[in-house]
Structure 1
Amino acid sequence: MSNSKPKLHNAMWPGLVGKGDAEGQEPPISLERMLDLTAAAEVNGQKFEGIDYFLFHPHTDPNASEDELKKIADLIASKGFDVGSLVAPVWPGTVGDSAMGDDAAQAKFLDAVKVACRIAKVFNEHGVRKYGVIRVDSAEFGVAKWRENPGANTARIVDTFQKAAKIAADHGERLAAEGEICWAGMHSWKDMLDVLEGVGMPESFGFQADLAHTYLYTLGYNAPEHALVKEGYSDAEFWTAYANMTDKLRPWTIDFHVAQNDGQVHGAGSHDKTGKHCPADDPNGKLDITKAAGYWLKDAQSRGIQHICWDGCMFPNAMLEKADTWNKILEAMIKVRDAHGWQ
């Protein structure tokens, strides 16, 4: 019998991240179109069961009224989906600002967490959302400014995250910090671990692991001093290093993204270069997706994980519009659940 948990989700933000109205950018894909593309995918009778959701324009007005949010919830439910994790609009130019910024910036960051908690409450009470976390990051693109004073800047990020985690806990929510090489202070496995341990609130603040991003953690991209393998590494060397990294970060992991990476970085629009998400069947993919996912999903139930989500951030629109793209992604997700899930 195939496993029925964790539930299989698709992310809505590939229709937004790296997209826009500026010259050279592809236009955003609407929420309803992303929902329809996701709903159309099917492999041997199995479909996606939910979505993870980005709380910013054009999919969502962060300041939308309760009635407007209920209409969004109705739309999502009408496609047969639950809502899982939400992405708080913490970045400069949205509601928030840098987590390592001054008091005004920190206040904006915390406001963005409050916004996410308000929307989460509406979805929870509606019934469309029954599990999941609220995702944050340092909202500080690039590592140059962080490197001017690493100790003080990490301490500031930790202080902001502690205050944010208290807000989330007061709303019955948990925050997950996205480990990604573009986020200052979170750009290597060691720096991410320092932040998690510095916050020290595992009941309300944890880690979101993404296979594409954490693959580059092993290479020390943006932090050569923390590289776990050297160029030309063997397969055995990689998996030993990967096990060492996941053993340190897995106890903090409360949200998980299935993805593929070809060893390169990529940026689009206003998004800084980060781990390049690739199609699930990309011939240049560096990861055995099913095997890599197992390192993160050990004891997943004990950490409250009830769903896993695909992330194909910054895929070209033409790729997102192909039905075959989503069927292959869903197939990869099913393999992960069959190997590492539960009944």
Structure 2
Amino acid sequence: MSHASPKLHNAMWPGLVGKGTDEGQEPPISLEKMLDLTAAAEVDGQKFEGIDYFLFLPHTNPEASDDELKGIADLIASKGLKVGSLVAPIWPGTVGDSAMGDKAATDKFQSAVKMACRIAKIFNEHGVRDYGCIRIDSAEFGVEAWRADAKANTTKIANTFREAAKVAADAGERLAAEGEICWAGMHSWKDMLDLLEEVAMPEALGFQADLAHTYLYLMGYNAPEHALLHEGYSEAEFYAAYEKMTDKLRPWTIDFHVAQNDGQVHGAGSHDKTGKHCPADDPNGRLDIVKCSGYWLKDAAARGIQHICWDGCMFPNATLEEPKTWNTILNTMIQVRNAHGW
């Protein structure tokens, strides 16, 4: 059955994350090139309807003037695309710093969230954006420092997130905390749930689920004590574990990434190892994308979800620049919407 919602988005950050000028890194792909690749995809008359957008250089200067940002909004709209969720530049080396750091660090974290809210307001007033969240994480790469005092460090992150959620709420925005195994305090399904419950602001801060990253939550890659599966699992064991995890995190889920994972971790540049995103038709993919998406999209509209986004983070440039990649992804997104949309 065909549906009009959720809207189908493509992420822009695969053109940036893991790319750069260091030896061995591939160069970034420009925003306009990523927009053109997205806009060109088409399956049986259906096209991508929007993008999710990383607010950092070289795509965007988070301190750009209002006029510069309006020009970017014009560019995106000229491709027939809307803007959905935004990624705040909360990491060390961008605008922000660790959410479990000292006051100077957490002040920088809040500044990054304020910048993202300012850009969201400009895009909203322009008309290119009228739904979506602002994505954050703990901006603390790896989990070793967190483990030194897990309870206290989770409280530090929760306090930072709570203040950031107040900033977002005052701006009419919601924050979505990304579940990914490389972010301290968010690196397992149980630690993520504990953090969300400690923040305790579901109207202002929820969870951003990604199929590739949450697969590794099941396997307990950075938290063996919270593993729900072990290699050699059966299909029945997989779906029992998947249901347990999604039942815990789905009520918090306000942003959703469609993706594939082959059971491996991958890292590039300064981005620590995390779930390896694979092409939608990767023969080594561990997930039935359409079926697994359904566990996260139950009652999605009631949680305010209006779009879903494909995430191909750290795909090689040759893969990203191949039109077939995007048609295959778009076809998968259409299947997800047909099965679970409204």
Letter of the aligned partner of 1:86 in structure 2?
A: L
In structure 1, what is the equivalent of residue 36 of structure 2? 36
1:332 counterpart residue number: 332
Question: How big is each residue's C-alpha offset from its partner over 1:194-253, in whole Å with a ceiling of 9 and x where there is no partner?
Answer: 000000000000000000000000000100000001221101001000000000000000
Matched residue, 2:46? 46
Q: What does 1:75-114 correspond to in 2, within 5 Å?
A: 75-114=75-114
Matches within 5 A, 1:228-307: 228-307=228-307
Q: Distance in 2 between matches of 1:216 and 1:133?
A: 24
Q: Aligned with 1:141: secondary structure?
A: coil
TM superposition shift of 1:14: 0.1
Number of the residue aligned with 1:159: 159
Task: State the partner residue of 1:133.
Answer: 133
How much has 1:258 moved relative to structure 2? 0.1
Q: Which residue of 1 aligns with 2:63?
A: 63
One-letter code of the match for 1:231? E
User: 1: distance between equivalents of 2:200 and 2:217?
Assistant: 22
Letter in 2 for 1:32: E
Task: Please name the residue that 1:203 is paired with.
Answer: 203
Distance (whole Å) between structure 2 residues aligned to residue 22 and residue 111 of structure 1:
28
Give the distance between the partners of 1:256 and 1:274, measured in 2 at CA: 17
SS for the counterpart of 1:335 is helix
Amino acid at match of 1:255: D
Residue of structure 2 in register with 1:194 after alignment: 194
Give the secondary-structure state (helix, strand or coil) at the position aligned to 1:124.
helix
C-alpha separation between the residues in 2 aligned to 1:82 and 1:62? Answer: 19
Query: Aligned with 1:262: secondary structure?
Result: strand
So what's the TM-score if we normalise by structure 1?
A: 0.99
Cα distance in structure 2, aligned partners of 1:313 and 1:275: 9
2:215 alignment counterpart: 215
Partner of 1:226: 226
Identical counterparts, % of pairs: 80
AA aligned to 2:68 is E
Between the aligned partners of 1:271 and 1:176, the Cα distance in structure 2 is 19
Q: Deviations over 1:42-88 (max 9, x none)?
A: 00110000000000000000100000000000000000000000000
Between the aligned partners of 1:82 and 1:130, the Cα distance in structure 2 is: 8
CA-based RMSD? 0.4
Distance in 1, Cα, partners of 2:101 & 2:333: 38
In the alignment, the residues of structure 1 paired with residue 160 and residue 128 of structure 2 have an alpha-carbon distance, to the nearest angstrom, of 30
What amino acid does structure 2 have at the position aligned with 1:151? Answer: K
Please name the residue that 1:23 is paired with: 23
- Give the AA of the match of 1:124: N
Q: Distance in 2 between the 1:221 and 1:332 partners?
A: 27
- 1:104 deviation in Å? 0.4
Provide TM-score, normalisation by structure 2: 1.00
Deviations 1:227-282 (A, max 9, x none): 00122110100100000000000000000000000000000111100000000000
- Structure 2 CA distance, aligned partners of 1:289 and 1:103? 41
Q: Which amino acid aligns with 2:110?
A: L
Code of the residue aligned with 1:133 in structure 2: it is C
How far apart, in 2, do the equivalents of 1:151 and 1:305 lie? 31
* Structure 2: distance between partners of 1:283 and 1:23: 30
Structure 2 residue aligned with 1:149: 149
In structure 1, what residue type is equivalent to 2:280?
A
What is the aligned residue count?
Answer: 342
The amino acid across from 1:270 in the alignment is S
Residues in 2 aligned to 1:66 and 1:229: alpha-carbon distance in whole angstroms: 49
Could you say what secondary structure the match of 1:130 adopts? coil
Residue in 1 that maps onto 2:178? 178
Residue matched to 2:168? 168
